[in-house]
Amino acid sequence: MEDCGRGGVLDGRYDLGRVLGRGAFGKVHYARDLRSGRSVAVKVVDKGAIVRSGMMDHVKREISAMRMVRHPNVVELYEVMATRTKIYLAMELVRGGELFARISRAGRLSESASRRYFRQLVSAVDFCHQQGVYHRDLKLENLLLDGNGDLKVADFGLSALVDDARSDGLLHTMCGTPAYVAPEVFGKRGYDGAKADVWSCGVILFVLLSGSLPFRDDNLMVMYKKICRGEFQCPPWISSGARRVITRMLDPNPNTRITLAKLMEAPWSNKTTAQKSVPAEENREEGFMNVNETKEPVRLNAFHLISFSDGFNLSPLFGGGAWEEGMRFTTRESTSCIVSKLEGLAASTSGKYRVTKSSAAGVCLEGDNGRKGKLAIAAEIFALAPSVHVVEVRKDYGDTLEYQRFCADELRPALKDIMWSSSNYHTITA
């Protein structure tokens, strides 16, 4: 078999085309199976690079895990080939891209869309566990969408098999992405791979529904403490049923954390919705929430106020503080006045910022390309009382430093005359 580093025909089986993506150890090509005519993705891995970096076990683990798991919501591995210098993995071609990229672009999902993706995720993870495979790196970046808008779990490079467990039946290798990792994984006593995956699924569900991570801090030790204590707050728009599911999944005690079997029996998970698969290329924003979908602001009740504040202390809603990543303030102005102020702010920047979505429920602004792409800001309006509104401003995506400058130099001066009182809080953004 000859190497096909620059395209061409691989072993008379696959006609390699354009490069779809690149990684530290190789690249992924679009390819056509000459035997069936099927379009596939061929992952080309440089043997020398993975040997030098000590990653050969990871590649072997990924191949072993993917061979064991055949499920509609898991990326399928068709074939593995190798030469003296390369490893070729012929895999299912997933055309819809990362779920993470779509949420970053469009915002949080509706509850019905979140439920649909969540069911598919749980079904796939449960099947993996039945085959003795624990993913250990479940995160939005590893969830892809196919041409029908269905979810596909990918990247089993950090997965573990039942045989990897020690004599105590537990796994002992610390791995994964910090914001998604269960607290017991950070410890040195070992952990149950299935329970750790459940925690990661809980983080994913939170992000689907809120558009932000439950645990986030620039200081990893601070974030680690929040994870170990299970310290997070659900936004007010998340339903009580979804809150219960998330809370059970993000239980820092693995012994009392909900299992996948119980999770699939939960009322929220089983609620029926008339949602069908929509081809990704036909409707790329299907199921995503935006401020245009709601004609009126969400009315806050006592439970929402508590979730907005730190425990039962409501001072963050009415007091002052330092300007950080997010801002929340109260105002006596009408929704039309608030929206007009935000739209006027965009207009005053001479095209630097533009309004992408606008309604009585809030306004979304998008700026020019910055250090980390375009800066997107969402300002949501909530009704606290007939004549009092709460405005919550957050960064949807983009550079945090640029967002902080925007808040200090543009946003606050433009809104100061309508602020009844303001406070700052540290948002958790994806």
HEC profile for the chain? CCCCCCCEEECCCEEEEEEEEEECCEEEEEEEECCCCCEEEEEEEEHHHHHHCCCHHHHHHHHHHHHHCCCCCECCEEEEEECCCEEEEEEECCCCCEHHHHHHHHCCECHHHHHHHHHHHHHHHHHHHHCCEECCCCCHHHEEECCCCCEEECCCCCCEEHHHCCCCCCECCCCCCHHHCCHHHHCCCCECHHHHHHHHHHHHHHHHHHCCCCCCCCCHHHHHHHHHHCCCCCCCCCCHHHHHHHHHHCCCCCCCCCCHHHHHHCHHHHCCCCCCCCCCCCCCCCCECCHHHCCCCEECCHHHHHHHCECCECHHHHCCCCCCCEEEEEECCCHHHHHHHHHHHHHCCCCCEEEEEEECCEEEEEEEEEECEEEEEEEEEEEEECCEEEEEEEEEECCHHHHHHHHHHHHHHHHCCCCCEEEEECCCCC
Quote the tokens at residue 286: 């299907």
Active site residue 146: no
CB 406 within 8 A of CB 375: yes
Strand partners, 21: 28
The answer to whether 352 is a known ligand-binding residue is no
**Phi, psi at 145, each rounded to 5°:** -120, 135
Q: How many residues does the chain have?
A: 430
Options 137, 146, 150, 396, the catalytic residue = 137
Q: Which residues carry a binding-site annotation? A: 43
For the annotated catalytic residues, the residue numbers are 137
From the annotation, which residues make up the binding site for ATP? 43
